[in-house]
Amino acid sequence: MTTTAATAPAPPRQASRPGSVMWVIKNFIGVVLGCRAYLTGTIAFLLAAAIAIVVNFSVQYPGGVILAIPVLMMPIVQHNVRLMIQRAIMAVVATLVTYLITAAFPQQPWMLMCVTLFMIVVGLYLIVHGLDLLGWMICIAVPVLTLWASTSGAPVGRSLFENFNRLMIGLFSAEVIAILLLRSTSEVILRAKMADLFESLGQAMLLPPEERVKSNLPTWTTATSDEHEALLRKIRTLYGRRSVVACNLYRTSCGLRLLLGGTSVWKIQYVTPWKNPWIQTMGEWPEHVRHLTAVQLQEIADAIRDRRDARAVPGLDETMARTAELAEQSIRESADEIPLQDSASLAHQVMMIQIIIDILRETRHWTGLTPSHDSTWMPVPRADQGGQRSLLRIGLDLFKTPDRWALLFALKGGLVGAIGFIIASVYNWWGGVTVLLLMSLFLSALNMGAVTTGFVMRMVGLVGALLVTLVAMLVVIPIIDDPWSFTAMFVICVAPGAIAMQVPQMAAVGLSWAMSMMFTLTGMVRPLADLTPLQERFVSVTGATLLAWLVFLIVKPVFARDRINDAVSLCLRQLAKMSELVKRPPDQASTMVEAEARIKAYNALSETSSLFRDATFEQDEPLDFVKRNKPIMESLQDLFLIQRNLLRGHAAAYQAAADDQAMEALVAGASARAQAFEILADSLGTPNEQVRACIQRSSDAAESFEEELKRVLSNPPGTEVRLLPLISLQIALQLLQQYLESLAVALHQRQTILDQTSPVTVAGSMKV
């Protein structure tokens, strides 16, 4: 049969490209249809908005745009009584300071403008590092609106009084409802997630080594750590940075990350089947230690759920000590008939279980509500390294050693605010200027990911809200004449946006939808079928969205490749620093240096992963883009884990008084790898003979180390010298060499791709 145009099968429909208009619309509709999963947050938002609308009608204030800000921020920020009081105090202080400045300089409103712009820049810089977003918006909104009112000729005292009252209405409506209905579940969620991971590790521990590697073993990923860190930030906000709950959960999370890092190494290490000489010597002891370790993991999981200190499993330490002793005896006795690679695999497995048990011994004291201290040997980062630095110290760093990406983000946000104020001053007779002024600041603080993607999402939400509001203005409002019916109509109209705000991926669409609705409808003192407010609010919100997008896109644009290059370079330099630690004796100081390098490398990995996701939205072939960048992320993550594992083995070998010549070969290889990491950080994929030379020296050092191990095993020292930690390092060295070579290749391939593609612009902040 001849195929014709009429009978030929239709070509398959291509999926919408992530970040496109159709992709945003499809995902937005899907989120709205699946609203049952987000009912609690949606109901709380709608109830707070309804209360604010009713109160606004009751007090009959004209305008009322500032009233919407606390309600709009409700799904984004944390809520409790302490934060509510803190935000109310900030509103009072902002009002008093604004009044004092305007009273001291009644004929010079530019003075308030200078102070406000300074607050905008400093506030945006601190927001990147954890400043309360709603508190900053409160401190900015009051002086900004007062400044506009003073330049427009309105009485400053009356403007301040009305804005303060509107702000209190919105603040207490949102905060009280959030405290009553959105009781923080961050601690419950984090404890459940950590307990599940401990439980899964315990189940996997019962399996033989060769089956454990093939099982669905939980491993360390940047996504898991990001999730934990986000929950920990919420817990610190709710309970305080120094509270027992926050500190213990942070330490437990650090211990869990170390455990997951060990299981990740299991996934990629060489595992040899157990040999007969090992079975004859060790007997059932490995089974016993695996069983007791699994019991301890389950006990810790139960203790985390119950908020109590975990109990020690009797006999675990003694069983582990006997197993390690028999493993060393077996390796010594079978050195002539078992290849070195197999002996190293056995040693590595035993040492990994020993490290796991040591971590569990420390973690037992952190699962409950008893005040505890950091580990003396396990590298738990200090508070200032773990994202808990005080805002005062961060603010001082702004004037000493600022974070250049965060500073650039803050300066751009300040420029957006300045331009918005100039426009508002020129068109002070226009009814939409207050919305334009506040929205320009609001959107600068909430600039998310790839700039164009955020713009598309906000425009989709804005246009959708415009159409719904237009129908409501023409059809519904003319037939209602009381605030209760008007509030019911408003709740129905704003509901799609409220649902989307509960989903992080669609939050920009939902926020644009909700704020367009609220800025349009909360400005009415009574139900009125008038299209003028709709026109003014739509133009002002569109203008503010366009203004923020253009400033971030045009003024000193930040490209994803530059941010990724910086993050990858930072990660490589931290790997080099960790490699250099092999040269020094393992003590408390080197442990903390390792902790600092670990947390910095984690932050760099996390940021790189986030940037990859953001930049993917703006690629013509996003799946291909991810595929090409995936080897870099995997190599960096695995190198980080293996290097950390090597340091733990090096510390054990040093304490065991290992062979000096073998340790010298280990140090030589570490020096070569550190130099290779530094050169890779500088070149980032550019062909470099120095990199090849360093990688070759690292390979030669690994071979020398292997020869030294063979020499040691052929003529083993007395039993007072433990060989197990030294031999186990062979596996880590092989893996480091393998992944170092693959990383160099992946970086070169990525650089070739970058030379052929156009850059992608992203926001200038690191965490916003």
| pLDDT tens digits, 626-647 | 556 667 777 787 788 788 777 7
Residue 22 has a CB neighbour count (10 Å cut-off) of: 11
Please say whether the beta carbons of 42 and 498 come within 8 A. Answer: yes
pLDDT range class, residue 299, cuts 50, 70, 90: very high
Distances (CA, A) of 546 to 387, 427, 444, 451: 33, 17, 11, 11
Give the pLDDT of residue 588. 63
Token couple for 447: 């600039």
Please state the φ and ψ torsions of residue 762, each to the nearest 5 degrees.
-130, 175
Burial class (CB in 10 A: 0-12, 13-18, 19+), 138: buried
Q: Using one digit for the tens of pLDDT, what is the confidence trace for 449-473?
A: 456 777 788 888 888 888 888 888 7
Residue 752 has a CB neighbour count (10 Å cut-off) of: 11
Give the pLDDT of residue 2. 46
Alpha helices in 269-372 (DSSP H): 276-282, 285-306, 316-333, 340-363
**AA letter at 632:** I
Closest CA to 651 of 277, 376, 239, 272: 376
Tell me: pLDDT of 621 over 50: no
Token couple for 233: 């930030």
pLDDT range class, residue 302, cuts 50, 70, 90: very high
Rounded (5°) CA angle 591-657-257: 30
CA distance 64 to 705: 73
Q: Using one digit for the tens of pLDDT, what is the confidence trace for 74-91?
A: 888 888 888 888 888 988
- Which residues are within 8 A (CB) of 321 and not within 5 positions of it... i.e. 6 or more apart? none
**Chain-centroid distance, C-alpha 250:** 15
CA distance 71 to 501: 12
What dihedral angle (degrees, nearest 10) is formed by the CA atoms of 321, 326, 331, 333? 150
Alpha helices in 34-109 (DSSP H): 39-59, 68-72, 81-104
Please say whether the beta carbons of 762 and 450 come within 8 A. Answer: yes
SS3 215: coil
- Which residues are within 8 A (CB) of 702 and not within 5 positions of it... i.e. 6 or more apart? 669, 733, 734, 737
Give the pLDDT of residue 301. 92
Q: Using one digit for the tens of pLDDT, what is the confidence trace for 238-247?
A: 777 778 888 8
Question: Scanning the structure block, which residue is given the tokens 């705000």?
Answer: 501
The DSSP annotation for 477-501 comes to GGG--SHHHHHHHHHHHHHHHHHHT
The number of CA neighbours under 13 Å toward the Cβ of 311 is 8
CA distance 622 to 613: 9
Token couple for 38: 């987000």
Question: What is the DSSP code (8-state) at residue 472?
Answer: I
Q: Using one digit for the tens of pLDDT, what is the confidence trace for 554-573?
A: 877 777 677 777 878 888 88
CA distance 254 to 375: 11
Give the pLDDT of residue 541. 77
Lowest mean pLDDT among 271-275, 285-289, 701-705: 271-275
Closest CA to 261 of 313, 224, 303, 300: 224
Alpha helices in 338-482 (DSSP H): 340-363, 391-400, 404-426, 433-445, 451-471
Q: Which residues pair with 761 in a beta bridge?
A: 559
Give the pLDDT of residue 93. 87
Closest CA to 120 of 520, 443, 514, 560: 443
Please say whether the beta carbons of 709 and 332 come within 8 A. Answer: no
Residue 721 has a CB neighbour count (10 Å cut-off) of: 14
Closest CA to 398 of 119, 145, 732, 652: 119
CA distance 511 to 446: 10
Q: Using one digit for the tens of pLDDT, what is the confidence trace for 475-510?
A: 887 787 777 888 888 888 889 988 888 887 788 888
Q: Span 372-382, mean pLDDT?
A: 62
pLDDT range class, residue 618, cuts 50, 70, 90: very low
CA distance 134 to 441: 12
Token couple for 566: 């910086």
Question: What is the DSSP code (8-state) at residue 764?
Answer: S
CA distance 252 to 342: 34
Buried b (16+ CB within 10 A) or exposed e, 65-77: bbbbbbbbbbbeb
Distances (CA, A) of 302 to 262, 313, 606, 634: 22, 13, 29, 32
What dihedral angle (degrees, nearest 10) is formed by the CA atoms of 558, 562, 564, 568? -150
Closest CA to 348 of 731, 764, 738, 47: 731
- CA atoms 169, 175, 180, 182: torsion sign: positive
Question: What is the DSSP code (8-state) at residue 762?
Answer: E
pLDDT range class, residue 729, cuts 50, 70, 90: confident
Please state the φ and ψ torsions of residue 178, each to the nearest 5 degrees.
-65, -40
Lowest mean pLDDT among 15-19, 218-222, 379-383, 729-733: 379-383
CA distance 355 to 289: 13
Tell me: pLDDT of 373 over 80: no
Distances (CA, A) of 104 to 101, 109, 197: 5, 10, 60
**Residues for the chain: how many in total?**
768
Q: Span 174-178, mean pLDDT?
A: 88
Please say whether the beta carbons of 646 and 582 come within 8 A. Answer: yes
Question: Scanning the structure block, which residue is given the tokens 């425009």?
Answer: 459
Closest CA to 679 of 728, 759, 748: 748
Higher pLDDT: 562 or 251? It is: 251
Closest CA to 204 of 261, 266, 272, 268: 266
Tell me: pLDDT of 519 over 60: yes
CA distance 514 to 436: 16
Please say whether the beta carbons of 529 and 474 come within 8 A. Answer: yes
Alpha helices in 206-284 (DSSP H): 209-214, 222-239, 244-268, 276-282
Please say whether the beta carbons of 437 and 144 come within 8 A. Answer: yes
- CA atoms 444, 446, 451, 452: torsion sign: negative
Tell me: pLDDT of 73 over 60: yes
Tell me: pLDDT of 611 over 80: no
Mean pLDDT (the chain, rounded): 76
Please say whether the beta carbons of 71 and 52 come within 8 A. Answer: yes
Element (H, E) at 377: none
Rounded (5°) CA angle 641-647-653: 140
